[in-house]
Amino acid sequence: MQIRTSRFGRSLAAACLYAALAQAALAVEVGGVKLDDTVQLASRELKLNGAGVRYKVIFKVYTIALYLPEKKTQLADILALPGPRRLEIVMLRDITSDELGQAFMQGLKRSSDQADRTRLLSQTMQFGAMFEMVPGLKKGDILTVDWLPEEGTLCKLNGKQVGDMVPDLAFYNALLKIWIGAHPADTLLRAHLLGDMA
């Protein structure tokens, strides 16, 4: 009886260890935030392409993750990739909606040329109006910015849709360029989103 119990105990311990290792393999921690290796969007499995922390001076502002149908390390390859995409932003401190809106708009201005900004003006204004619906973001809030093919850009705050869907893949690509374009706000964060998780 003691032998059977001992074998059972070893089997149970092995099963628990396996489960723990499997769970660890399914998530990565960035800036104290656990991110899934994969997410489901528009009936597709998206892979975590990269993630990093956005700093302002010395303060952590948010952890951001990029999910794609397949891993890519070059901007051009990402922009040409068919299928859904996701940016997931997890707040690491409180900010007002004005601060968030200004950061997005400054990022678009820095990363897009004048012709693109003019062409995407109506979508940008529609996206900017979304921030007026949100009083602010709190530490721990999760903002997802998804591209849904043939539908548009969909934003959700803690799982609840914010504003209307914004059409045009070019607009979503302009948003991506804020972080992974030629003139990002943070070059180290850009490297992390492009797959350099070191």
Please write the tens of the pLDDT for every residue from 132-184: 888 899 999 999 999 999 999 999 999 999 999 999 999 999 999 999 999 99
Token couple for 193: 């989103």
What does the longest C-alpha to C-alpha distance in the chain come to?
A: 79
User: Kind and range of the H or E element at 184?
Assistant: none
Q: What is the three-class DSSP state of 175?
A: helix
Residue 83 backbone class (left: φ over 0; alpha: ψ -120 to 50; beta: rest)? left
∠ CA 167-169-173, nearest 5°, is 125
Class of residue 80 by CB neighbours under 10 A (exposed 0-12, middle 13-18, buried 19+): exposed
Q: In a 3-state reduction of DSSP, which class is residue 193?
A: helix
Three-state SS at 187? helix
The structure tokens 């993750």 sit at 65
Q: Give the mean pLDDT of the chain.
A: 87
pTM to 2 decimal places:
0.85
3-class DSSP assignment, residue 192: helix
Q: Quote the pLDDT of residue 10.
A: 52
